[in-house]
Every structure is written in C-alpha cells, then in structure tokens.
Amino acid sequence: MRLLIVRHGAPDYNKDTLTEQGWREAELLAPHLVRMKPDAICLSPYGRAQDTAKKTLELTGLTPEVFPWLCEYDQVLPEPFRNCPWHQDPKIWTSDPQWRSPDWKESPLFRDSPFLRVYEEDRAALDAFLSKHGYVREGMLWRVTDDFYDVNETIVFFCHLGRAVTLLSQILDLPWVSAAHQFWIPTSSVTEILFERSHFDRGIAIPRVARLSDVSHLEEVGLPRCNSGFMMPVDGYTRDSDPTVSLSK
C-alpha cells in the first residue's frame, strides 16, 4: 500500500479556500497525482483541502471520502507551549528530552492532557481506516490481512500542515514534538509513505517515507514554493530584515 499525504495549496485562511497561487498549485498537482494512479481519495472537511482536490477528482473520476480526522490538527499544547502548536520556541520544545523520546506520551506534560486524548482518538480512527484497507497495526509493524495480501492500493489524503506532521507521527511512531518541529510540509506538496513488505515475512509491513514534501510539479514550471507554515521568511533572510537585531551596534 502507498499513502500520499498532500497538503492543500497556498491558502486564503480567512475564506478557507485558496489564493491565486493555491489554485495554480492545485492545477499543476492534479496531473502529477493522476500519474501515480490513485485508487482512493480522502479529504479533510475544510474548504482549502477540498478545493485543492477538485481538479484531481475531476481527472480521476474518483468519489472522495471526507474524514474529520484529516482536518487541521491545531490542538492547544499544554504549558509552557503557546500559540500554534508547530510554531514553538525551539529553546522550549528541545528543553525536555522526554518530549522527543519513545515514551513522550508518559511525560507529565502530555499524560492525561486534552492534546494527547485527541491525538489518540485520531490515531484510532486512522488505524480503523487502514485496517479496512488490509493493514493492521501491531506495535511498530503492520500485519497485512489475507484479503489484501495481493492488493497494492494508492490512497491520497488531502489535508493540512499540522495534520500531515501528525500523520507522520502516528504512522511512523515518532514523538509528536519531533515530527511537528523537524519536518515541514509545503503547500500542495506530496509526501509518500510506502508500507514495505518484509523480505523475511511477506505478511508484515513497515511504513517507510519514500518521498517527503515533493513539489516537483511546481519546480517543473518555475513556480516559486509558497513558504506558508514557516515561522520566518527563510528565502532571502538577512540581518537587516530582522526587527530583533540592532544594526547600530
């Protein structure tokens, strides 16, 4: 099985749709996805994700499924974190090694928190979806059911930056803080996860990231990547553009 995690195009957040660049990104993305021969398309209920999928749905003729667990994952982190959960002070999120360890859920910060409750509820919904497509989680591995032993589906998720990094955390068993702060998913990008069968036991698969944040469909026509989701304007950043730096010193 192959999962393609697609972030929506450049967003107009006020209207929950796309900007002019976002619509262009979606237009370029559609034939790129068609060449990957999707078998199923799943959508966030939010308008910007659904608008991004329109051209792809038109070209494939597929009927989408809409899932609430693909909406933006903007849950509020416990203190000392503030504001947008994936835009946090690096000095804070790196301050406690347990938040970035395999037992991150047992840390006092996350244990019994509303943030973790929603994370686990969404993970259970994701697991139920994947089990219907023949892949059942067993720890860090996935058991391939007999009915899907010879089936190789490609499934597309149209979603959001916060949701995409959360899916990476849930599927790959990565600490959420690490996934959210050390991966960036550009608008209209494609992240490909392959559930690779074990050479030693074909009934066991492990998810592997085969492609991360691919925007080759934009690069092919010279369309600049949208930096939505970065904390700073990373392209062309200089000291004289930084209001926190005094150049008089």
Q: What is the CATH number of the domain that holds 21?
A: 3.40.50.1240
249 has a pLDDT exceeding 60: no
Q: What percent of the chain has pLDDT over 90?
A: 81
* Domain region containing 147: 2-241
Q: CA 233, CA 202: separation in Å to the nearest integer?
A: 46
What mean pLDDT is reported for the chain? Answer: 92
What does pTM read for this prediction? 0.93
Listed in sequence order, the residues at least 6 apart from 175 whose beta carbon sits closer than 8 Å to its beta carbon are 99, 100, 101, 102, 104, 169
Task: Please tell me the number of Cα atoms within 13 Å of 172 on its side-chain side.
Answer: 20
Instruction: For the chain, give the number of residues.
Output: 249
CA 147 – CA 132 distance, rounded (Å) = 10
pLDDT higher than 70, residue 235: no
The whole-number average pLDDT for the span 111-135 is 97
Q: How many Å apart are CA 135 and CA 193, to the nearest integer?
A: 13
Does 248 fall in a domain? no
Is the residue at 247 inside a domain? no
Would residue 222 count as lying in a domain?
yes
pLDDT the model gives residue 181: 93
Q: Is residue 43 part of a domain?
A: yes
- What integer pLDDT is reported at residue 248 of this predicted model? 43
Asked if residue 192 is part of any domain, the answer here is yes
Mean pLDDT is lowest, of 118-132, 171-185, 235-249, for: 235-249
Does some domain include residue 162?
yes
- Answer yes or no: is 26 within a domain: yes
| Domain membership flag for residue 246 | no
What is residue 138's three-state secondary structure? strand
Number of domains the chain is built from: 1
Q: DSSP string covering 200-234, please? A: S-TTEEEEEEEEEEE-HHHHTTTPPPP-TT-SS--
